[in-house]
Chain A
Amino acid sequence: MSYSGERMLLSSQRESRVSRFRFWVMLVVPLAALLFQIYVPLFFRFLSFLDLPLLVVIYLAVMRRNPVTGLLMGAAVGLAQDSLSKNPLGMYGIVNTLVGYFAASIGMKLDVDNLTMRLLLAYFFYILHQFLYWIMERALLRHLPPFDWQHWLVLGILNALVGAALFHFLDKLRVTA
């Protein structure tokens, strides 16, 4: 497994490769990400900026290159996050659904094995995730969260970096043809 460092866009559909994962991977990896999200910050509070469930969704959606799978994965992970938070069920669910869908859709056009692309995708979808959640809070919860875009940009970079490493790790779990 090697990152292609020359091209970011695929010239044809045939060049895109659908990564396959075992079922337990599709199940355990999101659960592990959720567990990390709720457990690790208890001991390492500074790690609370990480959004591992989101990064897992982005990765699985991009690599699966199937919007339906991506959105279902996003929905499942998002609802699980909602269940473990004080938010009403559906807040993270809707946002992650949209992220999973768009990630899968974009992943079909891009060379998702490219490192830079992975960084950009992780960064972009993290920002998108934050923005959508901000809108959802305002629209549905009638909250007035601050539009802290600078904070988002910084955290986006951090998550993108962590995501790139995570993606590299998850690549090990792909089913080789």
Chain B
Amino acid sequence: MLLLALGLPMVGSPFLALAGRRLGARVGWLALILPVMSTVLLGVLAMDRSLPARWGVELPWVPTLGLNLSFLVDGLSLMFGLVVSGMGCLVIFHAIFYLGTDYAHLGRFYSYLALFMGAMLGTVFADHVVLLFLFWELTGVTSFLLIGFLHGEEKSRVGARQALLVTGSTGLALFAGVMLLQRATGTSSLSVLLERGLPWGERGGELSLAMVLMLVGAFGKSAQFPFHFWLPNAMAAPTPVSAYLHSATMVKLGVFLVARMYPLFVVSPLWLPLLGTVGFTTMLLAAVLALVSHDLKSILAWSTISQLGFLIGQYGLGPVGGVGHDQLHLLNHVLYKGCLFMVAGVAMHATGLRDVREMGGLFRRLPLLGMAAVLAGGSMAGLPGTLGFLGKEAMLADLFQPLRDGASPWVLYAVGCAGVASVVKIAFSLRLVTGVFFGKEPDGVALQYHAPGLGMQLPALLLAAGSLLFGVWPGLLDGLFGQWAVEGLNRPKPLAVWHGWSVELFTSAGMVMMGVLLHEVGRRTGWRGWRIPGVLQADKAFEWLVERFQGWTKVWTRGLRADRPADHLPIVVTFVVMALGAGLLGLVPGLAERLWPEDVGMDPLRTGVAGLIAMTVVGVLVLRRWTAQLISLAVSGFLTCFYFVLYRAPDLALTQILVETVTLILVLLLLARFPNSAQVGEETRRPGRWTHYFHIGLSLATGCVATGLILVVTSAPHPEPLGARYLEQTVPLAKGSNAVNTLLVDFRGFDTLGEVTVLVVATLGCLGLLMRYKRTPEETRQGPLGPPGFGVEEQRED
């Protein structure tokens, strides 16, 4: 049943893309089937009390590499799974009305969404840590596709790229982390780890590193400081996507991961400092940025980040046994933020405006939606009567508890950040609701308003109602939370609306007053001058970095001489000579003796030929014209034939002459066809005197190293060479008296076949060059692509 719930969206996704073309906008209803089925299936699983608290399913996939489709079902995964699939239903329902028929390629849209949902479910239910990473990356990719759904706009593309680069690279940190974890513990199953605990004693260092890496992954996904900047830009996606991915589900994966890690890693001394600082810094920073933003979706995005910061931070504060209210906070956020996003979507759809300063007075036109917004906004601010009120009480209680126990600097920091952030949050909640729904209706709204359908509003109303219901009767949640409690992670406490006249209540009331005051200040100034200061615009900085990096890669690649063909061979030769020279000096014991062999035989004929060869080589260096250099070089090749003659191998000499001739012709042809003038814009430089000397030095060094190699190797003790065997066997086996001949045409005749082929091909190559193949006009029109533009690309003149 679990597998069906997970697999359906994945398998169904491609069909949606295919069906999209035929069904048009109606494909949404088809898509709705998938999350509804998943929700029902998961709901049945969740209600089934006969199942143990933690159980798993395993399907073999890649057992060779120790990776199977193993899934883990416990309270945490069930809760997240239900949130994912339940929100999936609402969002797709909302999207059917929101997108309507205005957009092209709806099939693709729902296909991405379904795939995303499958990946999300896979992530939260994964038992194998690598499987978790696998689905984790898949959510990143689908999120990339969804953000860029309106890819005609530059903003969408930039946002998508930012999201992918940030979550992708932090995802790689997660990968490194889980691999280290796997290595350190010897198992990769989360359920086994949860049962056994971690071997902190023996492999503490590795585990700490793994923890930090995994947390980096979580921070990236949940848009925590310093990776916070990608989420507001991801709002370029259609609003249903923002509601689903970027507030309710995907960005909560970081929270999920932290919750998964909690029972394992909470004992680490790094846990509180890392989570506390990052989480609460994000909370404060994002809250402030939300207040000074004006774009409706940006406000929501920053507030989401702020709340995620708190969710992550509260795990940092948590005591070893388990935290009390994480489920409450999570559910609360899902309800009100999902609702607000959909409200914002409807409002934007109805008015065509995005800036909160230009909106207002919508309550009269959309009273139902207005009620939902008031409820959700109240929940975000933490006003009584909503679930948010309970959440805030719980938060304050959790913050004050460690403070009473004895304050560490981390806790003080957390309390400070959370306090200020809560005040700011009240202010921007107020602003959001009043700014859109109350006050005077600006002309722009009246001009563009068209009434949205009820279907579009329905999911938001449902969520708001949920928030109200649970806020008034929190007892409904107690049973659920108790059932979903995970050992070591949760210690749910009973919820109640009224806690008595406690410190928390007074603090809360004080915060509300200060928040209202702050909002009033803003309203009085007309929100002029309230904008994100340049220093904090990390997304701009990131884009700047990306641009600079691209520029830098060009400089760097050019610095490595990739675009100077003339330098390639010298660099390669220099490297080879240096490597071999270093090898000679470093690897060979007793180098000096080996380089001076005892007896050097001097044969006049051979010495003479060697001298001639040396002269031709010097000629190459001295001569100025390249044709003359080339011919001089070829002469040295021809002279080498004498050696073959001296060793009585006339056929080899013949081959050598042939090869030399062909090579000479080939190179001459190649060089003759070199374009004379350089390209437009290309750097031209004649090789200077020093280049010339360098080349001479390089040639000499090559010669020295080659000589050294030969001397060293021949001085090494070597086993009986096969040559002797050939001499013995040539008459009895091959029936020929010339060993070279039998070797070439019989023993190793296959080599000769190859070499003959080489000659044939070389001839064909020469033929190709000689044909001076030019494209006909038709080919140029049809044919490939014209010149590739290299680093110094300019248009060329043909």
Say if A and B assemble together.
Answer: no
**B interface list, Cβ under 8 A from A:** none
Q: Which residues on A are within 8 Å of B, measured CB to CB?
A: none
